[in-house]
């Protein structure tokens, strides 16, 4: 089991209408490892659903950790309202509140020697995409297609100048899966293969996986693709659906 640490909220910053950055600190971060930006920790909430587990764990990206100040930044998005344990907590929390976290979990590495890069995600993966863009070589080429809830959720990202951003504003009328997938498909690819990184809602992830794997012939070892949530399901239900889908994913 990963180390459990108690941390305290020391700063809250509203980055955009649907994204909030919460900064934590605490002596338990003394041995928190460095260079984990883009990785994740799990926030632990008292379990009111059943008696199987004492806590419900919710994974969130490590946006930044400043060892010298023992400060840990985590960004919370309101991608589907304030429905879940973590989003409700983030919406209501105040400076001085305490919470327990576990981790960090294993960090997904990207191949920085790739010919070019293609990032696709929604607001749940924007913190991870932001972290990876910051670490790319300055001469890196590629694209990032990011779905946001409103035009005001566009934020300034530190990135190589030849990584082109495409912001896609999600429609309120429906889940607009096809529109988002089309926004990815219309990108004009260079001749060589990219390293592909995708993280978003479960159903959209499956469409994108088919596109990259079947139409663009990207192999498993040339991409990272994951769902961070599934519309209509809580994290525990999503975890079951994700595991079943992973077992069925062919080469």
User: What's residue 251's pLDDT?
Assistant: 43
Residue 211 DSSP one-character state: I
User: Does 35 share its domain with 58?
Assistant: yes
User: Does 161 share its domain with 211?
Assistant: yes
What is the span of the domain harbouring residue 86?
A: 4-102
Q: State the CB neighbour count (10 A cutoff) for residue 187.
A: 13
Residue 3 DSSP one-character state: P
pLDDT of 249 over the 60 cut: yes
34-72 pLDDT, tens digit per residue, is 999 999 999 998 876 666 667 889 999 999 999 999 999
* Sign of the CA dihedral with 164 first, then 14, 83, and 133 last: positive
Per the CB < 8 A criterion, the answer to whether 118 and 77 are in contact is no
196-225 pLDDT, tens digit per residue, is 999 999 999 999 999 999 999 998 889 999
User: Does 22 share its domain with 46?
Assistant: yes
Q: What is the CATH number of the domain that holds 66?
A: 2.40.30.10
pTM greater than 0.95 (yes/no): no
Per the CB < 8 A criterion, the answer to whether 37 and 17 are in contact is no
Per the CB < 8 A criterion, the answer to whether 236 and 56 are in contact is yes
User: What's residue 121's pLDDT?
Assistant: 97
User: Does 140 share its domain with 24?
Assistant: no
């Amino acid at each position: 089991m990963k180390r459990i640490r108690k941390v305290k909220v020391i700063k809250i910053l509203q980055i955009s209408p649907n994204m909030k950055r919460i900064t934590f600190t605490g002596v338990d971060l003394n041995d928190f490892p460095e260079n984990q930006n883009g990785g994740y920790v799990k926030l632990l909430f008292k379990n009111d659903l059943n008696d199987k587990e004492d806590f419900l764990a919710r994974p969130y990206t490590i946006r930044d950790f400043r060892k010298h100040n023992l400060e840990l930044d985590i960004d919370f998005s309101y991608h589907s309202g304030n429905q879940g344990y973590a989003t409700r907590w983030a919406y209501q929390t105040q400076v001085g509140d305490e919470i327990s976290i576990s981790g960090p979990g294993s960090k997904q590495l990207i191949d920085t020697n790739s010919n070019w890069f293609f990032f696709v995600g929604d607001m749940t993966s924007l913190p991870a995409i932001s972290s990876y863009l910051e670490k790319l070589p300055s001469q890196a080429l590629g694209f990032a297609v990011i779905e946001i809830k409103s035009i005001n959720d566009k934020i300034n990202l530190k990135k190589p100048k030849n990584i082109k951003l495409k912001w896609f504003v999600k429609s309120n009328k429906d889940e607009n899966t096809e529109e988002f997938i089309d926004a990815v498909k219309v990108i004009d690819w260079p001749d060589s293969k990219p390293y592909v990184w995708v993280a978003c809602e479960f159903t959209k992830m499956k469409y994108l996986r088919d596109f990259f794997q079947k139409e663009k012939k990207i192999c498993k070892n040339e991409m990272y693709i994951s769902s961070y949530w599934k519309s209509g399901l809580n994290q525990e239900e999503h975890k079951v659906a994700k595991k079943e889908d992973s077992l069925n994913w062919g080469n």
